[in-house]
Chain A
Amino acid sequence: MTAANDQPSVMIDELLPGSPLELSAASLNLDAVIDDPKTRIIVCCGAGGVGKTTTAAALALRAADHGRRVCVLTIDPARRLAQAMGLTELDNTPRPVKGVTGSGSLDAMMLDMKRTFDEVVESHSDPERAQQILENPFYQALSSSFAGTQEYMAMEKLSQLRAQADEDGRWDLIIVDTPPSRSALDFLDAPERLGSFLDGRFIRVLTAPARGASRGIGRLLGAGFGLFTGVLNKILGAQLLTDLGAFVAAVDTMFGGFRERAVATYELLQDPGTSFVVVAAPERDALREASFFVERLDDDNMPLAGLVLNRVAHSRAKDLTAEQAIVGAEHLGQDDDAQVTAALLRMHADRQRAVAMQERLAQRFSGAHPTVPIAQVLALPEDVHDLDGLRQVGYLLAADSKD
């Protein structure tokens, strides 16, 4: 590993951190995270629109440049980011990304939710039954159209990739992006929810007709059963109830395996080899979501590396306060020749205010979570278009690592 090979080939000096936000939080040393061979999984989570996918991809490239053998799993990347990594199709297969410097490697893939779900079905059932499930209309709706499936499938894919890494050693670091919503952490509840569903009687009611169970058996299941089936019939209608029952009966044998997988993934995430990185922008809503994620991860004893703060505003003359700039602009008054400079001073004042507001918001987060280290990434003028742009983001991500 050499120090120079993670540098972007074109260093735009304007992008270098001039004066990032002054925060009380410790700096998040991301180079230490990716360089530690014990780090095997990094999970990026956060609200939508904060640059989560870009962060995951940039960390992955930097880790590869540092000699790690990395697989990055992205969810719905923006077209140009996908192109930057040479991803042109969504085929659920990790593809090598060309252009890594040094001895490491980078594979990238986009999650194909439906394909992943199909793979789960195929691996848990015999071919005939798998076919039956794949053709069931409920299954088709559940696997492709319904929200929420994405969260589970991202984690399913993660455990598949990890299993493959353990088996053939192709990767020593897996980085995953998560869907852009609070429900991104729903998978943490999966073991419990699947459990309560499987242990509940609902599933037995649904599967009863398919098993040829009579009402007699229903009565054995206890009081309320008759009322329950009656209610379901009334709500769903006989046809829908029969179809749903057939579906649940078909997947019944899979659920046990499902639950085991969910429990295993949950434990994998708690492993010290996993690092969660919460991504946010210095805005009220994004930081509120970040707080939610940090607290949720803490509740579940998930190892948190820290917070990445993207889109940080910067001023090129932090010592020139907003007030001084405004007063200066007023000094120039109505002098026609000085109107450009006066406008520049007012714009500088706006920048100073934006920086101050971001500092306030980030400090409020740190007040509530004083032990969470923060890495700041300056707002970039343009989106990432190529690998070098991604390398630049990685460079900025790790800029705080040098302290």
Chain B
Amino acid sequence: MPRSSSDISLHIVSGKGGTGKTTVAAALALALAGQGKRVMLMEVEGRQGLAQLFDTAPLPYEETKLAVAPGGGEVWGLAVDPEEALLEYLEMFYNLRRAGSVLRKMGAIDFVTTVAPGLRDVLLTGKAVELVRRKDKGSPSPYDAVVLDAPPTGRITRFLNVNTEIAGLAKVGPIRNQADSVMSVLRSPRTAVHLTTLLEEMPVQETIDGVGELEDAALPMGGIIVTMTRSQPLSAEALERAGSTGLSRSEVASDVARAGLGSVRSKQGRAVTDALLAEAKDHAARVHLETVERERIQSLGIPVYELPFLAGGIDLASLYELASMLTEEGMA
């Protein structure tokens, strides 16, 4: 069910590795900031992907302003460290920050953050929800929207659902209450889980599987963002010929000659012509595969947004460019 993006306060961006998950999360945060919002962009995998994207020093576990948008909006960044999140959690809920050093000495911090690594996910999802809730509680420095650069599609449902597991273990008590409260936000219409994909078979299949898993877990689906799409400058008719009967070799050869890239009979002219014809065939084959995959994505009945491949790579300027495309397409 399409929801207005202004109702959503937690955007969770997942996707198969290599499909531009972090870039899309950042562009979405900028797009939301473009509406004058104060946006938190958080990462949880310890990769410092945001610092790389925004070309800043590695982010500490501290809310740091990353970018501003025209109209007064701001993007803040936070790289969540599970150990710090645990200490913060202890302080927030139990006023027990000082207990941290005791817990550490006892090996309990190691246990929580590494030996039982699933507990990391409890802390990370808990932190995201805390940021979302600030506004409800009238806490200082609230955010209008939180964008989470989340673990990849293969892991996302387990990651978001970890509090359900906890609720199964702790029948009553403070941990149970916290788990229930996190799940109630994650399952609410305030949350949207977005998946990024390329128009290739494997990521599309993973996206389709991921959508099914999210639905089964009653987690609210947002949109699918198809990334790195290529332009298709050929006419439908030329594309058809490029893929099947072939383009006319003599026509291309004479065009190559007119373009000053080698006369029709020269070795160079022939090489360029052969290369262009072969590349035309590659292109037609790829467009065909992309068409098939695009149809599979569209058949899911979920809003689909597309972002083009940027030949120059991704820098801050291109992030703003992608952000305005997301705004135009109505995602933010």
- Interface residues, chain A, with chain B CB atoms under 8 Å away: 14, 47-50, 76, 78-80, 137-138, 141-142, 145-149, 180-183, 186, 189, 193-194, 196-197, 199-203, 205, 224, 227-228, 231-232, 234-240, 243, 281, 283-286, 288-289, 315-317, 319-320, 324-325, 327-329, 331-332, 335, 337-348, 350-351, 353-354, 357, 381-383
Contact = CB atoms under 8 A, between A and B. Distances in A.
Nearest to A385: B201
A32 to B, nearest CB: 29
A149 B117 contact: yes
Interface stretch (B24-32, B54-62, B98-106, B180-188): B98-106
Contacts of A193: 110, 114-115
A317 B269 CA distance: 11
A344 B170 contact: no
A181 B45 contact: yes
Interface string B44-72: 01110100100000000000000000000
Given A235-B174, A235-B175, A344-B252, A382 B114 contact: no
B18 interface: yes
B259 A331 contact: yes
Interface in B150-190: 151-152, 154-155, 158-159, 161-162, 165, 168-176
B105 A224 contact: yes
A201 B311 contact: no
B282 A14 contact: yes
Interface centre among A48, A315, A332, A339 (most CB of B within 10 A): A48
B275 A320 contact: yes
A186 B275 contact: no
A316 B278 contact: yes
A201 B171 contact: no
13 contacts: A79-B205, A141-B165, A145-B162, A200-B105, A227-B102, A228-B106, A237-B172, A237-B173, A237-B175, A317-B272, A345-B259, A381-B286, A383-B201
Given A231-B99, A237-B172, A341-B259, A288 B118 contact: no
A313 B169 CA distance: 49
A146 B203 contact: no
B22 interface: yes
Nearest to A76: B154
Given A200-B107, A235-B175, A383-B202, 10 more contacts: A50-B17, A142-B118, A180-B152, A197-B110, A202-B111, A237-B172, A337-B255, A343-B234, A343-B238, A381-B286
B125 to A, nearest CB: 12
Interface residues of B, number: 87
The majority secondary structure among interface residues of chain A is helix
Contact of B289 (A231, A238, A351, A381): A381
A319 B268 CA distance: 10
A339 B251 CA distance: 11
Given A146-B162, A148-B118, A344-B276, A338 B255 contact: yes
Given A235-B94, A316-B275, A228 B103 contact: yes
Given A48-B16, A145-B162, A196-B110, A381 B285 contact: yes
Contacts of B134: none
The majority secondary structure among interface residues of chain B is helix
B278 A147 contact: no
A138 to B, nearest CB: 6
Nearest to B261: A328
B169 A141 contact: yes
B1 interface: no
Interface string B119-158: 1110000000000000000000000000000011011001
A324 B261 contact: yes
Contact of B251 (A141, A240, A341, A354): A341
Counting from the closest, the 5 A-B pairs by CB-CB distance are: A200-B107, A146-B118, A48-B17, A237-B173, A148-B117
Interface centre among B52, B261, B278 (most CB of A within 10 A): B261
B49 A285 contact: yes
Contacts of A194: 115
Contacts of A180: 17, 152, 154
Nearest to A324: B261
B129 to A, nearest CB: 18
B20 to A, nearest CB: 9
A146 B258 contact: no
A190 to B, nearest CB: 9
Contacts of B47: 182, 285, 288-289
B90 interface: yes
A145 B158 contact: yes
B118 A231 contact: no
Contact of A332 (B18, B94, B111, B258): B258
A237 B274 CA distance: 74
Given A48-B16, A231-B103, A316-B275, A189 B114 contact: yes
A49 B205 CA distance: 13
B301 interface: no
Contacts of B172: 237, 239
B317 interface: no
Contacts of A281: 18
A354 B170 CA distance: 52
B18 A283 contact: yes
B106 A320 contact: no
Nearest to B255: A341
Given A49-B17, A200-B110, A186 B173 contact: no
Contacts of B285: 381
Interface centre among B93, B170, B238, B274 (most CB of A within 10 A): B170
Given A50-B17, A145-B165, A331 B258 contact: yes
A288 B314 CA distance: 15
Given A137-B168, A340-B252, A147 B260 contact: no
